[in-house]
Amino acid sequence: MSVRIGVVGGGQLARMMIAPAVELGLDLRVLAEQPGMSAALAATAVGDYRDIDTVRAFARDVDVITFDHEHVPQPVLRALVDAGVAVHPGPDALQFAQDKLLMRARLAELGMPQPDWAAVTDAAGLQAFLDAHDGRAVVKTPRGGYDGKGVRVVRSAEEAEDWIRALAEAGAGDALLVEELVAFRRELAQQVARTPAGDVASYAVVETVQRDGVCAEVIAPAPHTAARLEVVAREIGLAIAHGLGVTGMLAVELFETEDERLLVNELAMRPHNSGHWSQDGAVTGQFEQHLRAVLGLPLGDPSPRQPWAVMVNILGGPTEGTMADRLPAALAEHAGAKVHTYGKDPRPGRKVGHVTAVGSDLDEVCYDARAVAAQFD
């Protein structure tokens, strides 16, 4: 009998777990939101991940539950744990990825470097934060945001009026997160895998290039990084993985400031876009590593295979025709590039795939990855 892993969520992250699961002989079972999703090949159930009975029924036939996303509600997660299901990452860790206010408070306890922040419950509170921070700030809804959604840069409390009104309607206890607008030189990401027993493996710190709040490109390792900052990034990743009790893959999104400090921006407790390069650029890719970690298997080698790897997202996809129509031109562009598609219909701004190139000359690797990805525009 092989080991059964249940993945809640049928998106591209679940899809990219299929290949390593097949290789290792693991029985991957996916609870998809709908039929025909990215991970449809491994979908053994379709249903609502917010419904306790649906998720509990799905979990009955697996050895461990893990996730394609962080949106499974805490009561559902707690019900699984109460039923004796192994859940990785568990609800105690996941809450910090689900609620940015909880995250900020916990990271502060751990002494992690982060932007100035506050929980604000009304316009006066927000205005006070603005007044203390040169009249600019980032307001975030603590829950449910992703890819730039639920995030707004404001110069006055009025610009967040709708969210503040929603707060008042939601009643007591709710707050918005407000953060200092960091003058950053660039964005980095640090990935760490951690097993339930506490074994860890760290990937190279990478540079992530965002466009319109969405990851467009990742360069691994982050070019021209001071050796000191590489160490700091790794230490931050390990401290958060251990401090929050993360199991599986953790991604820590970081700002590198103009004065060479690192500040924690966001967390993700699952394979992450910033680690897609590792499928083709590291000895053990993040999807295999995640499966190993949540099963408590020995972790694989996260070392790079080549000096440079560049991952370029395919955003939107072809305006006419299908992804498949573009394969001939894309594959002809560079024989060594790796094309990953997500089985999604093209739609403006949607992540429908990515391209990774690796090599020893960063300029060439960048050019190759971008040229191949551009064939899908």
**Pattern 28-67, binding to its own copies, x per CB under 8 A?**
-------------xx-------------------------
Q: Considering beta carbons, is residue 2 or 74 the nearer one to its own copies? A: 2
Q: Which of 332, 347, 361, 377 binds its own copies (CB under 8 A)?
A: 332
Piece of the chain touching its own copies by CB under 8 A; list 74-82, 219-227, 230-238, 328-336? 328-336
DSSP secondary structure code for residue 96 in this structure: H
Which of 376, 374, 275, 372 has its CA nearest to residue 331? Answer: 372
Output the six-digit token pair for 166: 């929603």
**Beta-strand pair 43-46/200-202:** unpaired
How is the beta sheet containing 117-120 ordered, strand by strand?
117-120, 176-180, 137-140, 151-154
Can you tell me which of 2, 134, 135, 213 binds its own copies, judged by CB under 8 A?
A: 2
| DSSP 3-state of 43 | strand
Query: What residues contact residue 358 under an 8 Å CB cut-off, 6+ apart?
Result: 280, 281, 305, 306, 308, 309, 310, 336, 365
Q: Taking CB under 8 A as the rule, does residue 84 contact its own copies?
A: no
The answer to whether 327 and 59 are in contact (CB under 8 A) is: no
Q: Is 361 in the site for its own copies (CB under 8 A)?
A: no
**Is residue 161 close enough to count as binding its own copies by CB under 8 A?**
no
Q: Determine whether the annotation assigns residue 100 to a binding site.
A: yes
Would you count residue 299 as binding its own copies (CB under 8 A)?
Answer: yes
Q: Which of residues 165-194 bind its own copies (CB under 8 A)?
A: none
Q: Note whether 73 and 63 are within 8 A (CB).
A: no
Residue ranges at the known binding site for ATP = 100, 140, 179-182, 187, 265-266
Residues that bind its own copies (CB under 8 A): 1-3, 15, 18-19, 22-26, 41-42, 283-284, 292, 297-301, 303, 305-306, 322-324, 327-328, 331-332, 335-336, 338-343, 353
Binding residue numbers: 100, 140, 179-182, 187, 265-266
